[in-house]
């Protein structure tokens, strides 16, 4: 599997802030990870090229350096939001932007608490990008997050860690915890008390060696293809099994799938193992509001599987999908209806009625990598005639996706 995207972003950032040379193996080489590396290089870190199979060497700085040019974060929401947190603790101005998709995504959720800490941000038109941030001497923060968001949470934790102030957050739900695990590894105090998370700046970021596990969100597409297949089984090796990332496996279990984990070990505080999956007859389920933060990236794939399940699947409170790389909620419904599935939106809920009729039609991705991969996988079933308008956009998170999918079947599905 490609390296975990979330951990790759964070490993590059931590390495850029560690005075000395760090080595990162198995890093994701896709567009989003390259965006993070490019921004960090502009800020003074030395980072070797991100190439498949190559170790990435990072020579970091204890403090990043000012860049007078605008920092381009590409399509990566993780890059821009986490970098805002890092730059909030640096006493110089920075200007950040991204592509058309990223410029549509909300930034107030992260800039408002950073301003409360002592940074100064100036949003572009419609409260979006480009955005200018001037860091400063930060104050301790106590903040209630309006929605569970690993990106916003991580930005605030990084600002506090680098700015040497405490951060206390109230979360309405659990989100992925890779930043907390890395902070713990570097000696920072991170404590959870029910819905409250407390970080104390007791540690320091030092050079490190790290092997990145395979990305579970990317593995989800191969798991789905195996579930839809007629026979056989698939083993997906060395996938990250962080509990904050495997909520989709719990949903699949409720739908009647069996995905077994074997060869489980640990790497830098992250559980890693192999996943074994075989075809299954799926049934509809209800995805609850509390499930959503842990499966937000896998909902497009789960929705496509729901179209093939017996009965109705309801995804509750998934309005957050409207402000991802695309309006994922709208695209999911339009594409499912376009190929002959039964799907509708009820407020912030997504409702899908499963069917076994053959699907045929064109799926519009809007440049969204997860929409592209989900409908490509749905088209692997025999008898389906689904075309995807921009399959190449899968490279944002899964380089070589089409070839990997073909390898799963031993042929082009």
Q: From the candidates 297, 346, 349, 403, which is the catalytic residue?
A: 297
Q: Cβ distance 41 to 48 under 8 Å?
A: no
Residue 161: left if φ>0, alpha if ψ -120 to 50, beta else—which one? alpha
Taking the CA atoms of 293, 294, 296 and 297 in sequence, report the sign of the dihedral they define.
Answer: positive
Q: Is 297 in the active site?
A: yes
How far is Cα 344 from Cα 336, in angstroms, rounded to an integer?
Answer: 9
Strand positions, DSSP E, 107-211: 120-122, 131-134, 141-144, 167-170, 189-193, 196-200, 209-211
Q: Cβ distance 8 to 82 under 8 Å?
A: no
How far is Cα 369 from Cα 365, in angstroms, rounded to an integer?
Answer: 7
How far is Cα 398 from Cα 358, in angstroms, rounded to an integer?
Answer: 27
For 182, other C-beta atoms within 10 Å of its C-beta total 26
CA dist 96 → 47, 92, 337 (Å): 20, 13, 37
Query: What are the two backbone dihedrals, phi and then psi, of residue 264, each rounded to the nearest 5 degrees?
Result: -80, 130
Active site residues per annotation: 297
């Amino acid at each position: 599997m490609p390296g975990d995207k979330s951990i790759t972003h964070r490993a590059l950032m931590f390495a850029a802030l560690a005075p000395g040379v760090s080595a990162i193996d198995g890093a994701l080489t896709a567009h989003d990870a390259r965006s993070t590396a490019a921004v960090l290089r502009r800020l003074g870190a030395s980072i070797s090229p991100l190439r498949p199979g190559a170790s990435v060497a990072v020579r970091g700085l204890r403090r990043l350096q000012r860049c007078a040019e605008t920092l381009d974060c590409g399509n990566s929401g993780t890059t821009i939001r986490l970098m805002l947190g890092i730059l909030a603790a640096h006493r110089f101005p920075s200007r950040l932007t991204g592509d058309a998709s990223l410029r549509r995504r909300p930034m107030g959720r992260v800039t408002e608490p950073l301003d409360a800490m002592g940074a100064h941000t100036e949003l572009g038109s419609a409260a979006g990008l480009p955005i200018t941030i001037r860091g400063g001497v930060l104050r301790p923060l106590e903040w209630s997050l309006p929605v569970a968001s690993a990106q916003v949470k991580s930005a605030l934790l990084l600002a506090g860690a680098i700015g040497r102030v405490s951060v206390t957050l109230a979360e309405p739900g659990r989100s992925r915890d890779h930043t907390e695990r890395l902070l713990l590894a570097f000696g920072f105090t991170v404590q959870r008390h029910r819905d409250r998370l407390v970080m104390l700046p007791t540690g320091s970021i030092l050079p490190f060696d790290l092997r990145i596990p395979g990305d579970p969100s990317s593995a989800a597409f191969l798991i789905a293809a195996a579930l839809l297949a007629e026979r056989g089984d698939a083993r997906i090796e060395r996938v990250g099994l962080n509990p904050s990332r495997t909520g989709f496996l719990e949903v699949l279990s409720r739908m009647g799938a069996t995905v077994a984990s074997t060869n489980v070990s640990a790497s830098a505080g992250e559980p890693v193992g192999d996943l074994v999956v075989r075809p299954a007859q799926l049934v509809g389920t209800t995805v609850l509001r509390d499930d959503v933060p842990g499966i937000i990236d896998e909902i497009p794939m789960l929705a496509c599987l729901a179209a093939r399940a017996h009965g109705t699947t309801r995804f509750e409170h998934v309005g957050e999908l409207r402000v991802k790389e695309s309006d994922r909620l709208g695209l999911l419904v339009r594409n499912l209806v376009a190929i002959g599935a039964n799907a509708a939106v009820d407020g912030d809920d997504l409702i899908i009625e499963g069917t076994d009729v053959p699907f045929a039609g064109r799926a519009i991705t809007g440049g969204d990598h997860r929409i592209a991969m989900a409908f490509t996988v749905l088209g692997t079933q025999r008898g389906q005639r689904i075309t995807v308008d921009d399959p190449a956009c899968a490279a944002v998170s899964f380089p070589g996706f089409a070839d990997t999918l073909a390898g799963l079947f031993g042929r082009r599905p």
